[in-house]
């Protein structure tokens, strides 16, 4: 290779793209990168940014000489070879921006030109060389827009074996590559050398066209391509060049005229058309060219559209990763700001903005570089990139942000629930709060979605997370409210039970238990009345609980009523108290007449009668008090649902045994009480008798 002393912005230096051993060069990518970094405007569409031209023709037909003059390249020519006694076989590539034109100053072109020159071997070993030339032709067609077919004037019409054979190859190759789709064309530019001008160019081209059309007719066309015309796949142009040695000045002018046709898009005779281009950006072309060569070299079916898609896949994927890393992984500013903002929910909007900017930057970078590739592939990978961004942001920001947001919403809800809004029950107010939390959260998620920060299935999982937490929170608030209501009702109930039932115990009658129980049931009913719905007996504590849960609360209220009643009865009706009650009852009967006037006894017998009656009257109540039974002689059993008892309900009494409720005194206690009572009233009667004696003594 020539020493590296060229101006790379203009090109000229050539590299051996495919060597004698048919190996593809590793130099291509660096070569293109060097050019791309200084020359190629990456923003323009591929077909405007660079062009590829190859040459084709028999050995020593002056191809390299022409290319060097036309494009300012430095391909090996025979004249140079003679000096160096050496030739290097292969496919050569040279970049140029300087084309020899009729314009006096050769200003660099807007687009980059890549020129391919094929160097076959000289000499007799044609067989081996034909394989190489065939492959080179295939390759040239696969990657170029213009194929220069270099011919001597006197070759025309001769059907000279080698040359026409190769053209036939070109036809076949192009048919198999592009025939099925025929959306791609190539320009065959016939350059007729040593055209001294005796035969006009028009008759030379007519002769060529008729040979080509004949050849096309005789071609074995693959299935599906039978009806294709030559012109469906090829555009043809013909140019004559004067004899380089005999008409030197004319030759130079002819070359300049030819160069002009490659250089000015605004001119009518401009050769390049969009349909000739393979529509890959330059950064993908290297891979595309290598893939094409590998397939040709290994005699695989060369499927160019698939190759283009493969290159597009690879390249857009590479761009995807680079854009992603640049905007998220390697951007220290982004990452440090993210760390600061994520911790403070009040900075939510700034965080949101940060994520949006980073995501937009990333997508923009991807769009600029990747949109030049196959549209479908570009869009596919764009969606991939959005997914990748989405999952990165989800893990690194969105989850935390939304959890912080949820916590803030919950704190607000707790504050709101502390004060009952006017006209609303607890559960109505709670429902309102839940609705507004859902709405606020949806808004946040919609913001994420609208800015394409997350994809739809991540939205679903964020939503599910809220549902989960909200359920827990609502239950927590409901439980708290339930406890509050329960303890308030219990306290009131306890108070009213004491207030209403103690007096009944303190003044026992024979229907004491009827009175106590009916008072008790009334109080329970009273406690529950505010929670009864108007048209049915169903209870609703306004907490938003299920019917069952509401019933459970009612049961717990009843249970606590029973507990209060039990404790009160058993605490109050002690042996001493009952002795006292019996005595009160005795004294009332013994000392007072029915109209409450004190009785004055006249004799002992009268005292004995009163005494007996009063004692019986008092004793009546002892068996009544000893067991809680209604007047129809049924023992009262607390109505407490089993499931509450099974839970070993413990309160003031420890484990509650419903069957102990009714049993206040056992036989022994009754005996003790009677004995005590008898002793006391015996003293009373003694006093009474004494008082008579004393009074009669007067
Ligand atoms: P290539 O093998 O096709 O690349 O041919 P070269 O460019 O190496 O040239 C082969 C020989 O043809 C050289 O000796 C050149 O001087 C000569 N040559 C180049 N151009 C012309 C031309 O236009 N007319 C004639 N007669 N000879 C030429
Ligand atoms: Mg050559």
Strand 11-18 with 234-240, pairing: unpaired
Domain that holds residue 504: 481-697
Instruction: Look at ligand 1, atom 12, and give the residue with the nearest C-alpha.
Output: 62
CA atoms lying within 13 Å on the CB side of residue 45: 8
Segment 3-16 mean pLDDT = 57
Instruction: Look at ligand 1, atom 17, and give the residue with the nearest C-alpha.
Output: 62
Ligand closest to Cα of 193 equals 1
| 152 and 123 assigned to the same domain | yes
| 485 and 444 assigned to the same domain | no
CA atoms lying within 13 Å on the CB side of residue 679: 7
Name the strands in the sheet holding 186-193, side by side, starting at the edge strand that comes first in the sequence.
Answer: 11-18, 90-96, 112-119, 50-57, 146-152, 186-193, 234-240
CA 367 to chain centroid: 21
Substitution candidate for ligand 1 out of 56, 59, 61, 65 with most atoms within 8 A of CB:
65
Instruction: Report the separation in Å between the CA atom of 116 and the middle of ligand 2, taken as the mean of its atom positions.
Output: 11
pLDDT digits (tens, 9 = 90+) for 435-489: 999 999 999 999 888 888 888 888 999 999 999 999 999 999 999 998 998 899 9
76 CA closest ligand 1 atom index: 8
Residue 600's H or E segment, with its range, is none
Ligand closest to Cα of 56 equals 1
Instruction: Look at ligand 1, atom 25, and give the residue with the nearest C-alpha.
Output: 244
| 278 and 244 assigned to the same domain | yes
Query: 636 and 661 in contact (C-beta within 8 Å)?
Result: yes
Output the pLDDT for position 228: 86
| 186 and 134 assigned to the same domain | yes
Instruction: Look at ligand 1, atom 20, and give the residue with the nearest C-alpha.
Output: 62
Segment 312-322 mean pLDDT = 93
| Band of residue 162 on the pLDDT scale cut at 50, 70, 90 | low
Which of 278, 300, 322 is a domain's end point?
300
Reported ipTM: the value is 0.99
Instruction: Look at ligand 1, atom 19, and give the residue with the nearest C-alpha.
Output: 62
The angle, 0 to 180 degrees and rounded to 10, between the axes of the packed helices 332-342 and 399-418 is 20
Mean pLDDT of the chain: 86
Instruction: Look at ligand 1, atom 13, and give the residue with the nearest C-alpha.
Output: 78
**H helix runs in 194-347, sequence order:** 201-218, 230-233, 248-263, 282-297, 304-324, 332-342
Reported residue count of the chain is 698
Residues enclosing ligand 1, CB less than 6 A?
59-65, 77-79, 193-194, 243-245
**Number of domains making up the chain:** 3
Segment 104-116 mean pLDDT = 80
* Biggest CA-to-CA distance, the chain: 188
| 147 and 56 assigned to the same domain | yes
| 687 and 559 assigned to the same domain | yes
Residue 655's H or E segment, with its range, is strand 654-655
| 523 and 390 assigned to the same domain | no
Output the pLDDT for position 697: 55
Instruction: Report the separation in Å between the CA atom of 502 and the middle of ligand 2, taken as the mean of its atom positions.
Output: 126
Q: Is residue 466 part of a domain?
A: no
User: CB-based contacts of 324: which residues, under 8 Å, 6+ apart?
Assistant: 362, 385, 388, 389, 392
| Band of residue 82 on the pLDDT scale cut at 50, 70, 90 | low
Substitution candidate for ligand 1 out of 55, 60, 62 with most atoms within 8 A of CB:
62
| Band of residue 182 on the pLDDT scale cut at 50, 70, 90 | low
Q: Which two tokens stand for residue 269?
A: 């005779």
Query: 362 and 384 in contact (C-beta within 8 Å)?
Result: no
Q: Is residue 462 part of a domain?
A: no
251 CA closest ligand 1 atom index: 23
pLDDT digits (tens, 9 = 90+) for 641-697: 888 776 655 554 556 778 888 999 999 999 999 999 999 999 988 888 888 776 665
User: CB-based contacts of 225: which residues, under 8 Å, 6+ apart?
Assistant: 175, 179, 180
């Amino acid at each position: 290779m020539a020493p590296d002393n060229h101006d790379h912005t203009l090109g000229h230096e050539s590299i051996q793209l495919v060597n004698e051993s048919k190996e593809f060069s590793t130099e291509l990518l660096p070569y293109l990168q060097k050019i791309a970094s200084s020359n190629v405007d990456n923003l323009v569409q591929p077909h405007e940014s660079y062009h590829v031209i190859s040459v084709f023709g028999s050995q020593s037909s002056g191809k390299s000489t022409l290319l060097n003059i036309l494009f300012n390249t430095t391909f090996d020519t025979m004249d140079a070879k003679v000096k160096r006694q050496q030739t290097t076989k292969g496919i050569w590539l040279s970049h140029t921006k300087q084309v020899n034109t009729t314009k006096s100053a050769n200003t660099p072109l807007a687009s980059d030109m890549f020129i391919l020159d094929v160097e076959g071997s000289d000499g007799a070993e044609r067989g081996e060389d034909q394989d190489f030339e065939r492959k080179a032709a295939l390759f040239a067609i696969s990657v170029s827009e213009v194929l220069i077919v270099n011919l001597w004037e006197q070759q025309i019409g001769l059907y000279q074996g080698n040359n026409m054979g190769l053209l036939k190859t070109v036809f076949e190759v192009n048919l198999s590559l592009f025939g099925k789709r025929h959306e791609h064309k190539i320009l065959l530019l016939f350059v007729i050398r040593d055209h001294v001008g005796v035969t006009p160019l028009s008759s030379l081209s007519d002769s060529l066209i008729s040979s080509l059309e004949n050849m096309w007719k005789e071609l074995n066309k693959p299935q599906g391509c039978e009806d294709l015309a030559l012109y469906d796949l090829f555009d043809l142009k013909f140019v004559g060049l004067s004899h380089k040695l005999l008409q030197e000045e004319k030759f130079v002018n002819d070359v300049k005229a030819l160069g002009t046709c490659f250089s000015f898009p605004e001119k009518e005779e401009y050769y390049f058309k969009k349909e000739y281009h393979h529509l890959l950006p330059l950064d993908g072309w290297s891979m595309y060219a290598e893939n094409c060569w590998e397939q040709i070299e290994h005699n695989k079916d060369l499927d160019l559209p698939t190759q283009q898609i493969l290159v597009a896949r690879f390249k857009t994927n590479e761009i995807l990763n680079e854009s992603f890393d640049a905007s998220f992984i390697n951007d220290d500013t982004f990452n440090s700001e993210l760390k600061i903002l994520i911790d403070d929910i009040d900075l939510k909007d700034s965080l949101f903005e940060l994520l949006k900017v980073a995501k937009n930057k990333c997508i923009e970078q991807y769009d600029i570089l990747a949109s030049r590739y196959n549209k479908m592939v570009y869009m596919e990978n764009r969606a991939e990139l959005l997914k990748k961004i989405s999952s990165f942001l989800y893990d690194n920001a969105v989850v935390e942000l939304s959890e912080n947001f949820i916590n803030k919403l919950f704190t607000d809800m707790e504050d709101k629930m502390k004060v009952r809004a006017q006209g609303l029950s607890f559960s109505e107010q709670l429902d309102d709060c839940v609705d507004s939390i859902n709405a606020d959260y949806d808004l946040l998620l919609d913001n994420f979605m609208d800015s394409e920060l997350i994809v739809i299935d991540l939205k679903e999982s964020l939503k599910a997370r809220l549902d989960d937490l909200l359920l827990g929170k609502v239950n927590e608030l409901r439980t708290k409210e339930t406890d509050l209501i329960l303890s308030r009702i219990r306290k009131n109930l306890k108070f009213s039970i004491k207030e209403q039932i103690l007096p009944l115990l303190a003044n026992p009658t024979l229907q004491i238990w009827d009175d106590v129980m009916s008072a008790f049931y009334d109080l329970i009913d009273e406690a529950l009345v505010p929670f009864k719905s108007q048209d049915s007996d169903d209870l609703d504590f306004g907490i938003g609980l299920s019917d069952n849960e509401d019933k459970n609360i009612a049961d717990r209220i009843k249970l606590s009523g029973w507990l209060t009643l039990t404790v009160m009865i058993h605490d109050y009706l002690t042996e001493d108290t009952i002795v006292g009650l019996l005595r009160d009852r005795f004294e009332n009967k013994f000392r007072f007449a029915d109209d409450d006037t004190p009785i004055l006894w006249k004799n002992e017998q009268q005292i004995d009668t009163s005494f007996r009656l009063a004692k019986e009257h008092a004793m009546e109540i002892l068996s009544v008090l000893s067991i809680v039974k209604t007047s129809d002689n049924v023992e009262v059993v607390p109505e407490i649902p089993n499931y509450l008892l099974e839970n070993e309900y413990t309160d003031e009494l420890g484990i509650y045994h419903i069957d102990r409720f009714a049993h206040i005194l056992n036989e022994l206690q009754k005996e003790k009480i009677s004995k005590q009572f008898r002793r006391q009233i015996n003293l009373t009667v003694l006093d009474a008798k004494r008082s008579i004696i004393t009074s009669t003594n007067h």
